Structure 1
Amino acid sequence: MKIVVLDSYCVRPGDLDWSRLHDLADVVEEYPRTPPEQLAQRLRDADFAVDNKCYIDETVLAACPKLRWVGLMSTGIDKLDLDACHAHGVAVANVPGYSTESVAQHTFALLLELANSIAGRDASVRDGYWQVDVPEQHYGIRPHFELAGRTFGVVGYGAIGRAVARIARGFGMRVLVYTRHVKPEYAADGVEFVPFEQLLEDSDVVSLHCPATAETRGMIDEAALAAMKPGAILLNTARGALVDEAAVCAALKSGHLGYYASDVAAHEPVRPKDGLLHCPNVLITPHVAWATEEALARLSAEVCANLEAFLQGKKRNLV
């Protein structure tokens, strides 16, 4: 049996441990990255694939008749054609929940940077300034504000949205939630479930935590932004496709939207010409919210456990 790891690391070489795979197959091939044009060639005689960023579709599957299982290094399943995989009898397993706490933490790292201008303050101290007479525009320093007493809106209440809501409550914030499905176990969370429109109107901070689907793509458009409070903050650690970036830029330039802080973009990696890079009050990180050391350790361990279960005839995290 042969396993091919199409993306052997996520952020830095060696940040994922694939040693367990060598106990499961006769041959394990690891590639740091796999260009699309080499995907079918590398999988042509593979029984199992571990995939992060490669799009496996009908064309690839038709050229790889031995392939039986694909282990995704993600919770989301939008990196392959799931219907085509099922049609070819290829099982697909994802890794739910491995990055919940990491993404929730990063969400508040973005918000706290906006609230306290930590990076700008640090830079100003290193240049000899202390508290007063700091050229704030030069360092990107903003007036500081407290989170306590403000209203935090969570769009999407899966594991990450729920973790973010818990942190927001810890800061003394009122938490509003929009979700299509309110479960009985949510009753003790201390949050308020409201329609999407009310969440936009009442929230000082709107944080996105839903998948990109036909219903949610572009949900933060010109109309949604217009419905938000003047000066509100929009956070996105979910998917770039949820946001109409041109509309966000327009709202930032007009001053209606206060800030946009995001770990994702409509086009990744972000290109120098992309509009968000040229808008005021934008904070962008390169889709790394999930990539803490702890989350990466869980990720590789879970992918290996998924394959072990499949080889034993068990259905573990199959989608």
Structure 2
Amino acid sequence: MPTTVLAAGDHFVLPRLLTQELRNAVPGDGELEIHELRLPWPHTPFGKVAEVDEASGGEEEIIEALRGSRICVTQMAPLTERVLRACPDLELFCVSRGGPVNANLEAATRHGVAVCYAPGRNAVATAEHTLALILAAARGVADVHTDLKRGTWRGDTYDYGNCGIEIDGSTVGLVGFGAVGSRVARTLAAMGATVLVHDPYVRPDVVAGVARPVSLEELLSRARIVSLHARVTHETRGMISRARIASMPRGAVLVNCARGALVDYDAVCDALESGHLGGAGFDVYPAEPVPAGSRLLSTPGIVLTPHIAGASREVAHKAARIVAAEVARYLRGEPLAHCANPEAAR
């Protein structure tokens, strides 16, 4: 009897990509019976669904689509207590993103449903986007781009006081040295930067030859460019505060492609308006979408992108491939590679 699988994709990790990778990972006619569902993200922003965060689609829709399925592969579908109670056949829920924030892990464990995720799927894309924002913010690209699109050719941008800075010879500070931060560090070092890293969870020998580990205070006081690559925890929430921004060198550049909760954005706007900061680049925000009246939209010196650092076609394929590989392991009776609640695996 074939194993019934729900491929609940969206407009990024397409249902057909999930199906294709499932067929590749579990070869053989009749092994899988795959049903597809397309969720509305990102055309409709993700949000809280019942008790889980950053989900797309409603509980009723997911419950109906999951009927009779042993396995679900998805990026955004909500796995809530209600969904779990209504879907007793479900055994494996694979989330094709870096963390299963759209799954209630405690409830899944009680119901015996293993939850997997896809770490590192967008590390390359996010690192490349970070570099794009660093370069754009350091050279003031955002404002001159906007002016030129409006028909204004600004000659004053060649004034010494308005010129940007180069990577070569600059000191760059990275807060976090994981899959993304380490890639950014290697590229910046190759471009001639002196790279400082603050990451209390990384051994000094891991960064040796690429960067120098320092305290957060030293990093902020020395770096002309600071890029954030930390997760949001109790310790890191609001870590780039008004006081810490004030400790940065005058004219420094701040880039954040990690999480909006790391930064005091009002303090950033104040620092840009006063000239203390020379530029900023942001892909993540305290509220998404950014509200129409936000100062971020009107403060000069900021290059903005709408949380797309992890959006490349390659990421969608990697995400589908990672969760399909977990399905294959599960069906072969092998240990799961990226299980968030291993006590539930059966």
TM range (shorter): 0.7 to 0.9
Q: Is the 8 A contact 1:151 1:175 kept in 2?
A: yes
1:271 corresponds to: 291
Which of 210, 214, 230 pairs up with 1:210?
A: 230
What CA distance in whole angstroms lies between the structure 1 residues aligned with 2:146 and 2:116? 44
What CA distance in whole angstroms lies between the structure 1 residues aligned with 2:298 and 2:200? 35
1:245 corresponds to: 265
Flag as ranges the 4+ runs of structure 1 deviating above 6 A. Answer: none
Cα offsets for 1:103-157 (capped at 9, x unmatched): 111111111122345574698499696xxx64759xxxx5232111111111111
- Identical pairs, percent: 35
What CA distance in whole angstroms lies between the structure 1 residues aligned with 2:324 and 2:267? 42
Q: Is the 8 A contact 1:15 1:296 kept in 2?
A: no
> Gaps spanning 5+ residues in structure 2: where?
41-55, 341-346
The residue identity in structure 1 corresponding to 2:275 is: G
1:85 corresponds to: 108
TM-score by length of 1: 0.85
2:98 is the counterpart of 1:109 = no
Distance apart, 1:52 and its partner CA: 2.2
1:75 corresponds to: 98
- Tell me whether 50-59 or 194-203 shows the greater mean CA deviation: 50-59
CA 1:118–1:90 in 2, change beyond 3 Å: closer, same or farther?
same
What CA distance in whole angstroms lies between the structure 2 residues aligned with 1:187 and 1:99? 21
Paired residues, number: 311
The residue identity in structure 1 corresponding to 2:58 is: P
What is the correspondence of 1:161-240 to structure 2 with a 5 Å cutoff? 161-183=181-203, 185-186=205-206, 188-240=208-260
2:80 corresponds to: 57
CA 1:59–1:197 in 2, change beyond 3 Å: closer, same or farther?
farther
What is the correspondence of 1:127-146 to structure 2 with a 5 Å cutoff? 134=155, 143-146=163-166
TM-score by length of 2: 0.79
| SS in structure 1 at match of 2:269 | helix
1:160 corresponds to: 180
2:8 corresponds to: 6
RMSD (Å), alpha carbons: 2.9
Which of 36, 50, 66 pairs up with 1:29?
A: 36
Instruction: Between the two structures, name the one with larger relative contact order (CA 8 Å, sep ≥ 6).
Output: 2
CA 1:200–1:79 in 2, change beyond 3 Å: closer, same or farther?
farther
CA 1:55–1:155 in 2, change beyond 3 Å: closer, same or farther?
farther
2:48 corresponds to: none
CA 1:94–1:201 in 2, change beyond 3 Å: closer, same or farther?
same
Distance apart, 1:163 and its partner CA: 0.7
Distance apart, 1:98 and its partner CA: 2.3
2:21 corresponds to: 20
CA 1:17–1:82 in 2, change beyond 3 Å: closer, same or farther?
closer
CA 1:255–1:53 in 2, change beyond 3 Å: closer, same or farther?
farther
| SS in structure 2 at match of 1:26 | strand
Distance apart, 1:184 and its partner CA: 5.8
| SS in structure 2 at match of 1:268 | coil
CA 1:260–1:317 in 2, change beyond 3 Å: closer, same or farther?
same
CA 1:45–1:257 in 2, change beyond 3 Å: closer, same or farther?
farther
Q: Is the 8 A contact 2:185 2:210 kept in 1?
A: no
What is the correspondence of 1:32-47 to structure 2 with a 5 Å cutoff? 32-33=39-40, 34-37=56-59, 38-47=61-70
| SS in structure 2 at match of 1:172 | coil
Distance apart, 1:231 and its partner CA: 1.9
Distance apart, 1:14 and its partner CA: 7.6
What CA distance in whole angstroms lies between the structure 1 residues aligned with 2:105 and 2:267? 31
Q: Is the 8 A contact 2:9 2:36 kept in 1?
A: no
Q: Is the 8 A contact 2:257 2:309 kept in 1?
A: yes
> Gaps spanning 5+ residues in structure 1: where?
none
What CA distance in whole angstroms lies between the structure 1 residues aligned with 2:126 and 2:263? 18
What CA distance in whole angstroms lies between the structure 2 residues aligned with 1:269 and 1:128? 29
Cα offsets for 1:159-179 (capped at 9, x unmatched): 111111111111111111111
2:49 corresponds to: none
Cα offsets for 1:187-219 (capped at 9, x unmatched): 533311111111111111111111122222222
- Tell me whether 267-276 or 201-210 shows the greater mean CA deviation: 267-276
CA 1:187–1:10 in 2, change beyond 3 Å: closer, same or farther?
closer
